[in-house]
Amino acid sequence: MRTDDYNLAGIGKKLTTKWVGSRLSFYESIDSTNMRAWQEAQKGAPHGTLIVADLQTSGRGRRGRSWESPAGVNIYFSLILRPDLVQDKASMLTITMAHSVSKALAGNTGIDCQIKWPNDIVVNGKKVCGILTEMGFNKDGGYYVVVGVGINVRPQHFAPELADKATSLEDEDGRLQKLSRSHLLAEIMDAFEADYDSLMVCQDLTGILESYNHMLINRNARVRVLDPKGEYEGESCGITKTGELLVETADGTMVQVYAGEVSVRGIYGYV
């Protein structure tokens, strides 16, 4: 039994954004908010359409992986965007959302949140949030983007293979028992609206660059780049204003790492 106001009315009341969530749906249970958003976008749903759920039966991660999505404890949402941005810059939306989520979580919980480039939020070395961005095309040739976010808020039973790399906000700070998911969601949307505006004005990540790099995990530390074409190690030097991770290898080469097929790890494990 849920004790917070995590429902259509509760979320609607908290939202103070100008255009994010101008169309809002809430599902007690859904296959995947990204899948539903994609279907809605195909049918012409407007920029800013927000789809929220309490439970996902087929929550998705990158590259066909799944996202554990039990009921009553977490936040799952997908946002439909029709950005005024050339298509090859769309990956900047993932970086932008990661920044907005991390900033809003830190600001509302006091927890030290870090970003594992490009799309995870990590607290004390464990993943608390994942972001999945997917692109689709309109019949007129334009494109839309669905940015999906899952955030672990309350303690829950994680599958054994996740137990040592996943956590929730409340697991990290027991004082967050009363944290309202609706409030947190609304704060994230506020942060995203501001960050998105900055992306549209600059047409790159200049406006959030310093703040993103400040929250970036392993900055100026050694990382291992899991590139399907060959793994390598180097020092992570932060992201560029177009969202690539800069990694300096042993011979002094500065490699620009593109997201997509690549994962980055700390030298001793997940982070």
Question: What is the number of the residue whose Cβ is closest to ligand ATP?
Answer: 61
DSSP string, 144-157: EEEEEEEEE-S---
Q: Where are the alpha helices (DSSP H) in the chain?
A: 8-14, 33-42, 92-109, 169-172, 181-202, 206-215
Can you tell me which of 25, 26, 49, 62 binds ligand ATP, judged by CB under 6 A?
62
C-alpha distance across the termini of the chain, in Å? 34
Min dist CB 137 to ligand ATP, Å, is 23
Structure tokens at 233: 């190690």
In this structure, the strands spanning 143-152 and 222-226 are unpaired
Draw the binding track, 67-86, toward ligand ATP (x: CB under 6 A; -: no contact). xx------------------
155 binds ligand ATP, rule: CB under 6 A = no
Can you tell me which of 24, 71, 162, 255 binds ligand ATP, judged by CB under 6 A?
162
Can you tell me which of 127, 183, 219, 224 binds ligand ATP, judged by CB under 6 A?
127
CA atoms within 13 A on the CB side of 246: 13
36 binds ligand ATP, rule: CB under 6 A = no
Please check whether residue 96 is in contact with residue 199, taking contact to mean a CB–CB distance below 8 angstroms.
Answer: yes
User: Which residue has tokens 């830190």?
Assistant: 106
Q: Which stretch binds ligand ATP (CB under 6 A): 10-18, 46-54, 85-93, 119-127?
A: 119-127
Min dist CB 271 to ligand ATP, Å, is 9
Structure tokens at 171: 């697991």
Min dist CB 40 to ligand ATP, Å, is 22
Can you tell me which of 152, 213, 218, 236 binds ligand ATP, judged by CB under 6 A?
152
Please check whether residue 232 is in contact with residue 220, taking contact to mean a CB–CB distance below 8 angstroms.
Answer: no
- In the DSSP assignment, the letter for residue 181 is H
Q: What residue ranges bind ligand ATP (CB under 6 A)?
A: 61-62, 65, 67-68, 119-120, 127, 130, 150, 152, 162, 166, 263
